[in-house]
Amino acid sequence: MAADKSSPMEKSWTIFKEYHIDEDVGFALPLPLEELPHPYDAWISIARNLPELINNNQLRVEVEKLAKLSIDGLRGHKAQRLAHLVLGYITMAYVWGRGDEDIRKVLPSNIAVPYCQLSEKLGLPPILLYADCVLANWKKKDPNGPMTYENMDILFSFPGGDCGKGFFLVSLLVEIAAASAIKVIPNIFDAVQREDTDTLQKALLDISSSLRKAKKAFSQIHEYVDPNLFFSVLRIYLSGWKGNPLLSEGLLYEGVWDTPKKFAGGSAAQSSIFQCFDVLLGIQHTVGGVPSDFAAEFLQEMRTYMPPAHQSFLLSLKAKPSVREFVLSKGNATLQKTYNECVEAMVSLRNYHLGIVAKYIMIPASRQSKVERSSEEASESESKGTGGTNIMDFLKTVRVKTVSCLLKED
């Protein structure tokens, strides 16, 4: 009987566990593994030395020497996630090489076959994802120390020095800051069900506070990521082969499919945390469940790049009573103001993201376009995000949708 008396908060982590959501790090993988057993350590060895192998023109030679391994020895979710991360790094390095015009359009079967088999097992696409390079690519230097940039590192790097470390870790710290609000979600739905406006208001205040913390975490990008290094070195290794003129037909996964396949590169749109708050707050990017524009379509597609457990969590939120409709129905000015603070915090984050994109992509791209380009394809790809969209148009459309969800004062 004692279990029945437990609060929504006490029940919540039992519920969240089935959705692979952690109390401390949210959607991130808690304490990722760093090593794989023999013979998969051969993959780790290449991934650990990517920058040097790329610089010495040895990366592709070493990859082509690898044996084709069965994935049967990869036991447990964490080992499989580490292998997916490692094969994603190797694939990006093999395809893009030194980041010049020497691009490979075929991924050899010794990598393609295990990568695609593992991807199918995990329910993920065979390309480096946000769920890999951000959510599963970290460790603490001091295991007992805090989750701060200074006490953290990434497991694998691309060329560009510490630029990748800065980009991936700041993205992770944004996730973790926002994740502190996940724990109040059961309280919110419990309050709506019981028509308890005081509890709802307190929970919404927690949400807006967490979103403000996320924006503060995001500001660390200026300190740790150099715009020119990001644009000219790191960015190509995060780019996919969908909506990318540099690989317009896609990538052929040898031994898996007979025709090239198109997959989008890693994108912040693949983060479950902000789509989670969109659903929770009723920020609609669809009309009657159908994407209302290209931005909504892209967001919907990016859900298929999230771990299946996280996709299921977003669907479970969608099935709950509408928080927005409840707030509207109460006609309570204070409650509406608190709800609006959450939406405003989302708008503020999206505004900030636009500023980051201008600094790290659009301004370097405009400088580069003034220099004679070697090909039209290269110049066309500069204004696109790593996910393959026209990134400024996408972010502005999402921001407009978010602003439109603010409740009007009577």
Provide the CB-side half-sphere exposure for 247 (13 A, CA). Answer: 26
The reply to whether omega before 307 is within 30° of 0 (cis) is no
Spatial distance between the Cα atoms of 136 and 150, rounded to a whole number of angstroms: 18
Spatial distance between the Cα atoms of 140 and 145, rounded to a whole number of angstroms: 7
Spatial distance between the Cα atoms of 309 and 17, rounded to a whole number of angstroms: 10
> Pick from 192, 186, 157: which is nearest to 86 by CA?
157
Which residues have C-beta within 8 Å of that of residue 346, sequence separation ≥ 6? Answer: 211, 274, 277, 278, 281, 283, 402
Can you read off the two tokens belonging to residue 374? Answer: 């070697």
77 is in an annotated binding site: no
Spatial distance between the Cα atoms of 81 and 7, rounded to a whole number of angstroms: 33
> Pick from 266, 268, 406: which is nearest to 340 by CA?
406
- The count of residues in the chain is 410
3-state class of 11 per DSSP?
A: helix
Spatial distance between the Cα atoms of 162 and 152, rounded to a whole number of angstroms: 12
231: DSSP letter? I
Can you read off the two tokens belonging to residue 49? Answer: 């030395």
Can you read off the two tokens belonging to residue 200? Answer: 């709802």
> Pick from 128, 109, 383, 167: which is nearest to 263 by CA?
128
Residue type, 326: F
The CA-based diameter of the chain, rounded to the nearest angstrom, is 74
Question: Would strands 138-140 and 152-154 be described as parallel, antiparallel, or unpaired?
Answer: antiparallel
Spatial distance between the Cα atoms of 228 and 363, rounded to a whole number of angstroms: 9
CB atoms within 10 A of CB 278: 21
Spatial distance between the Cα atoms of 305 and 54, rounded to a whole number of angstroms: 27
Binding residues for heme b: 353
Binding residues: 353
